[in-house]
Amino acid sequence: MSSQRENIIQRAVQEVENGTIVNLGIGMPTMIANYIPAEKNIFLHSENGLLGIGPYPGEEDVDADLINAGKETVTVKQGGSFFDNAESFAMIRGGHIDLAILGGMEVSSQGDLANWMIPGKMVKGMGGAMDIVQGAQKVVIIMTHTNKNGESKIRKACALPLTGEKVVDRLITDMAVFDFTPSGMVLREVLNGADVKTVEQYTEAPFTIDEALVDREAK
């Protein structure tokens, strides 16, 4: 895993609070399971019917029957439970997921999320993200700040098909942490050696800067 992605994951782990039920989206978010401190009592949920997912298994612990929503083999913590897909989505739609951490392709200045397809490319389906972003108590998106061409993935308006409108509470990239409030997008933190000017340069969407960050930058 690149240091860029690892930095994002390590910052995202800070969002996971003790005693919460957390859904991790496929891709980079699933790696968070390996970084959660052992002393934290977290219940990781997967929409294919698992509650109590542990870290990825070593070769000697692989069980092909234990997989997450991304079809990756996982471990199950003591006390973990298994249920069908309908029960899993009843948990999601009923508002029983405290936190969802998902990947993103684009996020808009209003907190719109696009993360399920790129037109013209084959996709297996929309997955569970459309339900998750509506049902989870808090939605955190993690993604690189720019695409492979160096273009901002944080846009005035998403160009890709939306997963949900105004659903993102917090966005964590390799450069920054943003929150989405009724008054707009707010830059809360700069990360990994970036500064406010760099974030402004690589962010298409307009945003304001948290006063506490302004004070820190001025020192």
- Looking at this protein, which amino acid is placed at residue 38? A
> What pLDDT was estimated at residue 75?
94
Residues 21-38 have pLDDT tens digits of 999 998 899 999 999 998
Residue range(s) defining the domain that contains residue 211: 3-218
User: For the whole model, what pTM was predicted?
Assistant: 0.94
Q: Cα torsion at 95, 108, 102, 150 (round to 10°)?
A: 180
Task: Tell me which residues are annotated as active site.
Answer: 47
Residues 33-68 have pLDDT tens digits of 999 998 899 999 999 999 999 989 999 999 999 998
Distance between CA atoms of 115 and 129, rounded to whole angstroms? 8
Check which CATH number belongs to the domain holding 157 and give it. 3.40.1080.10
> What pLDDT was estimated at residue 200?
97
**Which residues have C-beta within 8 Å of that of residue 45, sequence separation ≥ 6?**
21, 22, 23, 51, 53, 88, 91, 97
Beta-sheet strands, E only, within 73-124: 76-82, 99-103, 106-108, 113-114
Residues 180-204 have pLDDT tens digits of 999 999 999 999 999 999 999 999 9
Q: How many domains does the chain have?
A: 1
Residues 104-158 have pLDDT tens digits of 999 999 999 999 998 888 777 667 999 999 999 999 999 999 999 999 999 999 9
> What pLDDT was estimated at residue 218?
65
